[in-house]
Structures are given as C-alpha cells and as structure tokens.
Structure 1
C-alpha cells in the first residue's frame, strides 16, 4: 500500500522587509512578497525554473507535473525534495517518464504572470475531457465563496503583488487557499494538494483572483473541476475553451455582482436574491 511520495516539507519566508521613502520623504519599512527561483529536476533531468513565492513548493512541483501531463498518477512519484539553499526541487519517479525528450520539446509560453508555460499543444487533450453535467452551484453559494475570499487572511493584504487561488466544496466551504507570484503557480499548487489528498474535482469550485485565460481553463478542466470563478475577466480563448469543455465560467465576481459566461445549465439562480423580479447581479454574457 502506497503512502504517497516522500516530501521535504521545505519552508521559506513569504515576505521580505524593505526600506522605503514616501512622497513626503518619510522613511518606513514595508513588507514585499518574496520571489525566488525553483529549478525542477525530474529524474536528474533539468525541466523548468519556476519563479515562486515558495509557500507550497512540493505541492507546486507535483501540480506542475500533473497539469503538464508529464506524470499520470501520483503513485508514480517516489519523492519530491526541495532545497532552498540551491533553489532546486529534485523529483524522483519509480520507473522514469516515457518519451520525456519528445514530450518536453515543444513549449507554449502563456499569458500567466511570470511567463507561465505548458508543454505540447494547449488544445492537445481538451477534446478528451468530460466535466460532470449534474454538478450545481447556487447563487447563495457563489456569494458565500466571494465573501469568504474577501475576508481571507492573505499575503496580498499584507504585501500586495501576488495572486491567490482557492478550492471550495459544493457547499462553499474552503478547502485550500494558496498565493503565489503568478496565478499559474497557485493553480498548480492546488492541483498538487488535491493529488496528495486524493480529492476529486467533480463537484468542486475553483476561484482565482487572476483573469480566466486559456491556461487557467485548461488546467481547471484537467483537474476535473466544473466551476471556475474570478474577480477579474476572461480572454477570448479562455471563453472558447470553457465552451468547448462545457465548463461553468463566472467572471467579475465582486460583492453581489458577477457575469455568468458559459455552462449556464449548472448555475441555480435564486429568486429571493433578486429585487423587483429582476436580479441586479445575474448578468448572462
């Protein structure tokens, strides 16, 4: 019986103090987010260097391998060892990765903050993804999620300049909240946590503070998550991919306002949340 990969559980400071002068020449000390390189080695082969906050490095590496489709199951991974002194993560698999040269030869640089990238064609496996059609999200659960994010303690509130991603269950209870310098890192780290904990995405809701690009939609679909929410907007390709995989996409989620873009059949509008018979928050794009 496998107990999962051996993890280093490395930790690093998430913020860094700096001296500043304001517009009136007054000196003070503020915290800014940490940003550090983490070079990933897969079975001693250098794979990629990720610029990261460093809050969940092992989960980030696992989620990266999962979302890049380089490793199919967590049971294939023996260990993930992060060493911040050399800024490296060593991943060891039990049997190696088939056709690693060919599978990493082509890379697409995405629009993610910090220059995210995905190996192979972005759309290579989209048509094989099937998201559950019976999952439902109520308007009140959406509001609960947005409110929980608003009150969540975060590096962003302390130091700014980071993106946050969160995973919620079907009732709007928070399962994971991770911040990083790029939203693609944060989503990968949540994918890694889900892998480690054996959590299925079939009835989950994913929230990101960043825009809904094609990369974010594809990663959410690969994680099996039918709902993707953002306080920001979406791109044309993000919208197109969401339609293609039949994902429920909601953008501009702030306060009681949101835009429901795709996958409308999963969303349950609640009449008691409307005023004068017409919802002031439910706008279908």
Structure 2
C-alpha cells in the first residue's frame, strides 16, 4: 500500500461460541453429552441494503464477508470498503463502502444455486468471466509429491472443531516452497464455500497472490470450489473427498491441479498433471487382494 491509498477497512472482532453441548442416546441405550458445531445465519448488508444471508459457524465472520464480496466481484479494491461490522446479537454484518457499489442491482440480479453444502450462491455473471481468469504458468506454480505429503501431514495434525464435534468443513491455505508446504491459515465452517471465502478474504487483506499457494478442503471438489480458487490465482487444490463432473471440466479448462481422496500418502490427481512432480518412492506399497478377488475403486 502506498501513501496515497485509503486505509484498510476497519473490522470488528465479533466472537461466538463454535460448539454447543447436547445430550444424545447411542445404539446401546447409553446417554452422553457431546459437542456439535454451532450454525447461525449472518445477513450481510452493504450500505444498508440487504445482500445475502450466509449460514456460518462464525469463526471469522469479517474475513468471510470480505472474501464473499471479493469472490462475487462486487467490489474492485479492498480500499473501496470503509468498514465491516458484525453484530451477533442481531445476526448481521454491516458493510460500509467509501463510494457505494456501481451497478449494484445489475451485479446481484442473477444468482445460481451451487452444489456447495448450505447452498452457496454465486452471481451468474461470474460464469461469463471464466475465460478472463489467468493462472500462473505450470512451470512456475507446481507441487511436488513430497510437499503434498507434508501438506496432508500438517492437516492431519491440526486441532479442529471437526475432531471434537464433527459436521463442519475445513479449508487450509499453504505456501509451497520446493518440497515444503507451510500452513498459513486453517478455517472451519458449516459450508466449505464459507471456509474458502474466509481464506480468500485473508489473502486479499494482505495483498497476497496465489502462485506459490495451495488450497486444502475437506469437501468435494465442485465447480464452486474450482472457480473460487481460480479467482484468487491459486492453481492447486487438494481435497479429502472426491470431485464432480463440472469441477473436473472447469479445472481442466482453467489449468488447475486437483488432488482428491487425499489422506496420509494416498491421493488421486484428477487434472493438472503438468503441475505435479511425482515421486512414487514416497507411496506406500499397494495392498494385494487375495487370489481370485478383484474389484474397482470409485473416484
């Protein structure tokens, strides 16, 4: 930021409990108390105009709102935003811009309900902008198998709401450097689209590019996740889950490397082979089925 730029947005630091206790009855007739993830609506107002209601865990609501505005292309610059104020007493986020949003009605007129859990939404005009997205060259933005294994190990060791309560999605942002994968930020939410928007807000606030970054998500690789990653310039996505047809088609079209079914040292690379430096010596020996048994594996 140079001396002529307006200051960065003022952000509230709203806090909310991430889990709550409930009594359950198991299959043995035993009663116990467990933790479940909280879920709460956050209605976003831009210059006092209602925009959208997001169902969220509420871990980093201000970053979620910033990332949502960025990924929906409703604002062009971080400096267009004066403040983001979240009030959990009323379940609202008030966004104040410095000069309003040009063509607000046109930009928000078309919405597409996506396959993101919790029914994430994108505005229809985003689909028209896909061909304008340019990702870093594969020779400059890639991942080695050793870095991928390190990434998965870091996620495995991460303390999380999922481990204590389940029922949430997690996303993580990593910086790649040779065979190293450094965890920058780990975010959980009831919807993976919320979690990746929060990471996007974090990157945007710091002016970070995506050429040396990789996203990790526990959720499946849908078109929404591919688009959001491409918008932030991150060409590598890793998922514990699988992939959808449109997610695969868009990743191939945009040149992203997608890794799914990724746990421990196992993974499937679905696209972007040119961004991957494989080293099969790091893989565990394949299991051999008993004689006479076959089988297939679903991706």
TM-score (norm 2): 0.90
Say yes or no: does 1:251 pair with 2:260.
yes
Asked if the contact 1:108/1:121 (under 8 Å) is kept, the reply is no
Assess if the C-alpha contact under 8 Å between 1:39 and 1:49 holds in 2: yes
1:141 aligns with 2:147: yes
Runs of 4+ residues deviating >3 angstroms: none
Counterpart residue number, 1:7: 11
Shift of residue 274, structure 1, vs aligned partner = 5.5
Q: Which residue in 1 is equivalent to 2:71?
A: 67
Determine the C-alpha separation between the residues in 1 that align with 2:241 and 2:26: 29
The normalised TM-score by structure 1 is 0.94
For 1:98-247, list aligned pairs within 5 A. 98-133=102-137, 134-170=140-176, 171-247=180-256
3-state SS in 2 of match to 1:169: strand
Shift in CA distance, 119/25, structure 1 to aligned 2, threshold 3 Å: same
CA shift, 1:5, in A, is 0.4
Structure 1 residues 237 and 271, CA gap change in structure 2 (3 angstroms): closer
State the Cα distance separating 1:261 from its structure 2 match. Answer: 1.5
**Hey, what's the Cα distance between the residues in 1 that align with 2:195 and 2:284?**
37
**Against the structure 1 CA distance between its residues 31 and 263, is the aligned structure 2 distance closer, same or farther, given a 3 Å change threshold?**
same
Deviation at 1:275, TM superposition (A): 7.5
The Cα RMSD (Å) is: 1.8
User: Paired residue for 1:35?
Assistant: 39
The answer for the alignment partner of 2:53 in structure 1 is 49
Q: Provide the secondary structure at the position in 1 that maps to 2:20.
A: strand
Is the contact made by 2:260 and 2:270 (CA closer than 8 Å) also made in structure 1?
yes
> Could you tell me how far apart the structure 1 residues matched to 2:126 and 2:37 are?
30
Structure 2, unaligned runs of 5 or more: 289-296
Aligned residue pairs, count:
280
Q: 2: CA distance between counterparts of 1:155 and 1:217?
A: 24
SS in 2 for 1:172: strand
CA distance in 2, matches of 1:43, 1:223: 25
Kindly indicate whether the alpha-carbon contact (under 8 Å) linking 2:266 and 2:283 is maintained by their aligned counterparts in 1. Answer: no
